[in-house]
Amino acid sequence: AGPVDSKNEAAMSELVPEPRQKPVVPMKPMGINTSLLGYIGIDTIIEQMRKKTMKTGFDFNIMVVGQSGLGKSTLVNTLFKSQVSRKSSGWNREEKIPKTVEIKAIGHVIEEGGVKMKLTVIDTPGFGDQINNENCWEPIEKYINEQYEKFLKEEVNIARKKRIPDTRVHCCLYFISPTGHSLRPLDLEFMKHLSKVVNIIPVIAKADTMTLEEKTEFKQRVRKELEVNGIEFYPQKEFDEDLEDKTENDKIRQESMPFAVVGSDKEYQVNGKRVLGRKTPWGIIEVENLNHCEFALLRDFVIRTHLQDLKEVTHNIHYETYRAKRLNDNGGLPPMTVETEENHESNL
């Protein structure tokens, strides 16, 4: 086969629009046998894929966990620039704290740039608010597993739906109280149990109560404690796909996380611009100003760069783990052993 025409190569790269956020994936070395001469049209598959996903839309399910008063609802509203939290759907601030942990899921349909998203926000009122908080993560773990079970049931049907509705929790924001000291036993217990079944993103709530130094120190201490306790929060080290992912995620894991955030749904005038912020006697805290807090980092991380990855890790890893466990302790049947390649298991 002859060498690729250099003019063709330039023409080829013009035809493909570059993905918005990241640099184009570097060309892999040529595989066995062949090299293409002239344009074929294989790369049109990218446009076909884009069209298809715009048509079908996306599902995203986000859970917020933390003691009451930490600003969970406000933060979620700020993230999605709209009144998505349950607080806005007819509830008021004076409502009683529930006696046990409740799970409340509310779905919304939002659209941006032609992309339709069905967003479900799952709130957990009552978490950490009781006198005795032992095992208060259990209803949450149960809910998460119930969603896996729902999906599994649909998947093993004989006549399956073309697109199985996805109610699995893709991301769990865990709100840490900004004490400035360290994590509480409840924080550690929750994250230890749940980091094995769902992607946990720890955030430090109401970060406007700490100075810059206090913030940095607190973050360092929290990271250390999480590491010492073997808690793997998202993005988990073991799921980095390649060097590019690893370098990018290492930076996030070791420097940015946990994100110290401030939420607000009020706008103020600052330097001639309307910004979201909190007004105090000593100044206006701008939510989207990276010098003031890390909200913008959290938003970009969860929504603009890692949303698809959150879903994929949930589907390819957490769900598969649940499924394997479920099929293995199959009501009464003897546990199946992984034998040679010939005798692989099945659930039939």
Using an 8 Å Cβ cutoff, are 147 and 167 in contact?
yes
Least distance in angstroms from the C-beta of 302 to other proteins:
9
**233 with 289: CB under 8 angstroms?**
no
Q: Are 278 and 167 in contact (CB under 8 A)?
A: no
What strands lie across the sheet with 267-270, from one edge to the other?
267-270, 273-280, 283-286
Residues in 279-338 that interact with other proteins by CB under 8 A: 299-300, 303-309, 312, 316, 320, 323-324, 327-328, 330-334, 336, 338
- Select from 91, 104, 108, 297 the one that contacts other proteins (CB under 8 A): 108
Choice between 46 and 97, CB closer to other proteins: 46
| Window 164 to 223, contacts with other proteins (CB under 8 A) | 165
Query: For residues 49 and 290, which CB has a smaller minimum distance to other proteins in the complex?
Result: 49
Judged by CB under 8 A, does residue 254 bind other proteins?
A: no
* 25 part of the interface to other proteins, by CB under 8 A: yes
User: Does residue 340 bind other proteins (CB under 8 A)?
Assistant: no
- Residues 72-101, one symbol each (x = binds other proteins by CB under 8 A, - = not), give -------xxxxxx-----------------
Distance of CA 44 to the CA centre of its chain: 30
Within 115-134, which residues bind other proteins (CB under 8 A)? 115, 117-118
Are the beta carbons of 84 and 77 closer than 8 angstroms?
yes
Q: What DSSP state is assigned to residue 81?
A: T
Whichever of 59 and 214 has its CB closer to other proteins, that residue is 59
Please identify which residue in 69, 97, 160, 227 interacts with other proteins, judged by CB under 8 A.
160
Q: Where are the alpha helices (DSSP H) in 90-195?
A: 138-156, 185-194
Residue count at the site for other proteins (CB under 8 A)?
96
Considering beta carbons, is residue 188 or 336 the nearer one to other proteins? 336
DSSP state of 306: S
State the Cα–Cα distance between residues 73 and 218, nearest whole angstrom: 23
Residue 266 is a binding residue for other proteins (CB under 8 A): no
Residue with smaller CB distance to other proteins, 48 or 92: 48
The residue among 186 and 336 lying less far from other proteins, judged by its C-beta, is: 336
Compute the least distance from the CB of residue 150 to other proteins, in Å: 12
Question: DSSP code of 98?
Answer: P
Residue 284: strand pairing partners: 279
Strand locations in the chain (E): 58-65, 104-112, 115-123, 171-176, 200-204, 259-260, 267-270, 273-280, 283-286
Of the pair 147, 177, the CB lying nearest other proteins is at 147
Instruction: Quickly count: other Cβ atoms within 10 Å of residue 8's Cβ.
Output: 13
Residue 145 within binding range of other proteins, rule CB under 8 A: no
Q: Does residue 224 touch other proteins according to CB under 8 A? A: no
| CA–CA separation, 247 and 299 (whole Å) | 20
Retrieve residue 199's tokens. Answer: 């992607």
* Residue 35 makes contact with other proteins by CB under 8 A: yes
Task: Using the minimum distance from each CB to other proteins, give the nearer residue, 20 or 96.
Answer: 20
